Amino acid sequence: MDKSFLRAMAKQAEAEHAATPDPYASPNLKTTPSGYLLYSSFLANQFVYDDLKFVDFPAIVYDVLTPNLSPPTSPPTSTSTSTITIHQDKKQGKGGLVWCASFILGEYISTTIEFSPSLSSSPLNILELGSGTGLASIYLSAFLETSQIHSSITTTDLPSLLPLLEQNVAANRHESKFSTLTPSILSWGVDDGNFSPDSFDYIIGADIVTSLYDPIALASTIHTLANASTKVYISFKGREQVYHDKFEAAMNGKFVESTVELMGDEGFGGRNRNPGVGILFFTGKI
């Protein structure tokens, strides 16, 4: 389907939802004794889609959907959950907060890609760019660990975000037999050379195409670090079209295949119904 048509539909859906009453004043949101938001209580009452709704919570507790592998020999048939806790730091600006696109990306990848438990000694190699709090990487790592899939995830951002990334990775590090998660610095277009190109099976990013950041440097880093079969998943929140156009034009010249899928009511039926979020997919590095 045409990308601008999909985006027009998303904008219309968002405008309709925005007209509904604000549920944040309602007592529906539940917290832990430490004041951490239980995200499930937000999802149960989701009416509006303002990404800034969570800024005043010091941390958010997410349920990660995972296949039920017990007993280990049976095929995954149902889901069980594990939880992750993501701390925020408002002082760090946008990167210090969690964004809907990040939760949606973690859930989308873990529920739509068919990962099979690997017997091979080489783990799936995954790189996240512009990770902010690290939510998408941490979600995916928890999913892959419970799914018993060997994986190595590198979660990256600018130097100023590294302490928060490290804090969140440490807070969610449990016994890990299958999935390793490593926080690191990667500034797009600047220190790509610190990472070995060609080695990533997946390159992912959530809400990293906006007016604030350089879409050309981002596309260049993705291209440098991808190989011919790398799959690139970038979730976005449709805001200013011009930056998406610049990013997609740059990516379309570097990858053979590209698709876009909308989330929410019109597309992938994830738990967060934010209609303004979509996922760009690229593969086939030129």
Ligand X SMILES: C[S@@+](CC[C@H](N)C(=O)[O-])C[C@H]1O[C@@H](n2cnc3c(N)ncnc32)[C@H](O)[C@@H]1O
* Minimum separation from the CB atom of position 98 to ligand X (A): 5
* Minimum separation from the CB atom of position 94 to ligand X (A): 4
Compute the chain's Rg from CA coordinates.
Answer: 18
Nearer to ligand X, 89 or 201 (CB): 89
* Minimum separation from the CB atom of position 266 to ligand X (A): 21
Nearer to ligand X, 67 or 143 (CB): 143
Residue 217 DSSP SS3: helix
Which phi-psi region, left, alpha or beta, contains residue 247 (left: φ > 0; alpha: ψ -120 to 50)? Answer: alpha
Nearer to ligand X, 133 or 154 (CB): 133
What is the chain's length? 286
* Minimum separation from the CB atom of position 212 to ligand X (A): 7
Nearer to ligand X, 158 or 171 (CB): 158
Residue type, 2: D
Binding site for ligand X (CB under 6 A): 94-95, 98-99, 101-102, 130-133, 135, 157-158, 161, 187-188, 206-208, 213-214, 217
Q: Which helix (H) or strand (E) holds 10?
A: helix 3-18
Q: Which residues of 145-178 are buried (b: 16+ CB within 10 A; e: fewer)?
A: bbbbbbbbbbbbbbeebeebbebbbeebeeeeeb
* Minimum separation from the CB atom of position 81 to ligand X (A): 20
Nearer to ligand X, 79 or 189 (CB): 189
Q: Which residues pair with 257 in a beta bridge?
A: 283
